[in-house]
Amino acid sequence: MNRRQFLASVSATAVLPLPSFAGVTPLKLKAETVSQQILPQGEGTTAMLGFNGSMPGPEIRLRRGARASIEVKNAMQEGTAVHWHGIRLENRMDGVPVLTQDLIDPYDSKTYSFVPPDAGTYWYHSHYISQEQVARGLMGPLIVEDDAPLDLDHDITVILSDWIINEDGSLVDEFTDMHSVAHAGYMGNFARGFLSRSEVKQGDRIRLRLINAATNRIFPLSISGVSGSVVALDGMALRQPRAFSDLVLAPAQRADLIVDVTGPVGFDMPTRQAPYRLAELSISGENTDRQSGPLPTLAAPDLPAPGAPSQHLTLTMMGGAMGGRHGGANIWSFNDVSDLPQDPFAIIERGETVRITLVNDTAFPHGIHLHGHHFYEVAPDGSIGDLRDTTLVAAGESRDVLCVFDNPGRWLIHCHMLSHAIGGMRTWVEVA
């Protein structure tokens, strides 16, 4: 069998729970090699990287506004650094080698300490040779809890990823294969979701926190067995809940749903053939106490409102296979510059609102991520859209975003298709 073909999806009996974190302070994350049953039970295990013996790493839950300390111990034979994706934190805790910190050397450790300002769904992942370390498994969910708990029966995390796996379970280490880097990136032949819980009752009211931790795959999602709506994207509550029928998650994006359970819950990726099952929640009994009132709503995010933009920048994604325009040494670039330039792409005064036009002049979609901030997507008619930390721009299209740069420091902007990031689609801004 050609390993590029999709392997069979999750069987109905294969439950793969996501470990939770014992609530100790400081939280300790040990990056190490792990062996994980990714393929269905009974098939081979996969040698990977993980935290505290598991892949994905344990779910970290923090309180909004309270300082968190997380000690990362590196028990691997290579360096690493951990990025707390989507958290508007202090720059020196952002986990980006060279730009914000030195590598955590093998057998060394580093304590990250920050105050998460926004409740919501985030994640953590390696930010060192990340197209490889994240693909090998150095990632996990990071939840910042609401100030007041919502009236729900369960709060369930679903973290999605994909890998190239041989039939015996071994991981194919083609993380820097130049052909895939120049195209859509390292793309698994096996995908699945890890859930923090495996069962619900018919009639339960639940929150689903979906996280796309894949290095390059965009997941279109169809979710069955529930009725309700999307209430947050990239951690930030939406102004209006929204239907989830056309939910698409680019790498690193998150979506929160609040739904009532109407039957067995399935998470499927539509494909040209049959839908591919990523995860499921089975039904055990019926919830007869639940009053079917209106779905609870999330508190609105507390971010500065954008002012009149004082700069209008353009970042043009260039390069890649199939006629991309870029002549540099690396395959991908922003504005014809590959990799981190010595000088920032822009210097921004703290508090400035900046409009950035993201132009995709390539044959592939890109999910562009800004560190340390969230930004507003601007609709073609000029209206202000969703708050995001990663925005998906289709091939040949462009999108404007508006950002209040109120967080001082050196912040990365890169494609979160991690093969494209390593291929050069990275730059940075300085907020002074």
Pick the binder of Cu ion from 415, 418, 422, 429 (CB under 5 A).
Answer: 415
The residue among 96, 98, 93 whose CA lies nearest residue 71 is: 93
Q: How far is the CB of 66 from ligand C2O (least distance, A)?
A: 23
Return the number of the residue (110 or 388) whose C-beta is nearest Cu ion: 388
For 114-151, letters b (16+ CB in 10 Å) and e give bbbebbbbbbbbbbbbbbbbbbbbbbbbbbbebeeeee
Which residue is it, tokens 């580093």?
Answer: 110
**CA distance linking residue 50 with residue 58, whole number of Å:** 9
List the x/- string, 173-212, binding to ligand C2O by CB under 6 A: ----------------------------------------
Pick the binder of ligand C2O from 207, 209, 369, 373 (CB under 6 A).
Answer: 369
- Name the residue whose CB lies closest to ligand C2O: 85
Site for Cu ion in 77-136 (CB under 5 A): none
For 17-51, letters b (16+ CB in 10 Å) and e give ebbebeeeeebbbbbbebebebbbeebeebebbbb
**CA distance linking residue 60 with residue 333, whole number of Å:** 34
Return the number of the residue (209 or 426) whose C-beta is nearest Cu ion: 426
**CA distance linking residue 412 with residue 396, whole number of Å:** 23
Site membership for ligand C2O, residue 412 (CB under 6 A): yes
Site membership for ligand C2O, residue 83 (CB under 6 A): yes
Return the number of the residue (57 or 228) whose C-beta is nearest ligand C2O: 57
In 37-147, beta strands by DSSP E = 46-51, 60-63, 68-74, 82-85, 109-114, 120-126, 139-145
Q: Of these partners, ligand C2O, Cu ion, none, which one is at the site of residue 252 (CB under 5 to 8 Å by kind)?
A: ligand C2O
Return the number of the residue (73 or 371) whose C-beta is nearest ligand C2O: 371
Pick the binder of ligand C2O from 27, 28, 51, 85 (CB under 6 A).
Answer: 85
Give DSSP secondary structure letters for 167-187.
TTSPBP--TT-HHHHHTT-S-
Q: Of these partners, Cu ion, ligand C2O, none, which one is at the site of residue 355 (CB under 5 to 8 Å by kind)?
A: none
**β-bridge mates for residue 392, sequence order:** 367
Q: What are the residues whose beta carbons fall under 8 Å from the beta carbon of 412, sequence distance 6 or more? A: 94, 96, 99, 340, 369, 370, 371, 426, 427, 428
Q: For 140, phi and psi rounded to 5 degrees? A: -170, 170
Site membership for Cu ion, residue 366 (CB under 5 A): yes
Site for ligand C2O in 100-129 (CB under 6 A): 125, 127
Q: How far is the CB of 335 from Cu ion (least distance, A)?
A: 15
Q: Of these partners, Cu ion, ligand C2O, none, which one is at the site of residue 420 (CB under 5 to 8 Å by kind)?
A: Cu ion
* Binding span for Cu ion by CB under 5 A among 159-167, 186-194, 401-409, 412-420: 412-420
332 CB-contact burial (10 Å; exposed 0-12 / middle 13-18 / buried 19+): buried
- Which two tokens mark 17? 């729970």
Pick the binder of Cu ion from 355, 373, 420, 426 (CB under 5 A).
Answer: 420
**CA distance linking residue 29 with residue 113, whole number of Å:** 13
Q: Of these partners, ligand C2O, Cu ion, none, which one is at the site of residue 205 (CB under 5 to 8 Å by kind)?
A: none
**β-bridge mates for residue 265, sequence order:** 281
Q: Of these partners, ligand C2O, Cu ion, none, which one is at the site of residue 417 (CB under 5 to 8 Å by kind)?
A: Cu ion
* Binding span for ligand C2O by CB under 6 A among 42-50, 169-177, 221-229, 411-419: 411-419
Please give the C-alpha separations between residue 385 and each of 124, 288, 299, in angstroms, as whole numbers: 26, 38, 17
Site membership for ligand C2O, residue 214 (CB under 6 A): no
Site membership for ligand C2O, residue 217 (CB under 6 A): no
* Amino acid in position 77: Q
Q: Of these partners, Cu ion, ligand C2O, none, which one is at the site of residue 369 (CB under 5 to 8 Å by kind)?
A: ligand C2O
**CA distance linking residue 384 with residue 308, whole number of Å:** 13
**CA distance linking residue 31 with residue 373, whole number of Å:** 26
Please report, to the nearest 10 degrees, the dihedral formed by the alpha carbons of residues 155, 275, 282, 197 taken in order.
Answer: -30
Pick the binder of ligand C2O from 27, 29, 214, 252 (CB under 6 A).
Answer: 252
* Binding span for ligand C2O by CB under 6 A among 40-48, 112-120, 176-184, 409-417: 409-417
Pick the binder of Cu ion from 184, 417, 418, 429 (CB under 5 A).
Answer: 417
Q: How far is the CB of 336 from ligand C2O (least distance, A)?
A: 21
- Residues engaged in binding Cu ion (CB under 5 A): 366, 415, 417, 420
- Residues engaged in binding ligand C2O (CB under 6 A): 83, 85, 125, 127, 252, 369, 371, 412, 414, 416
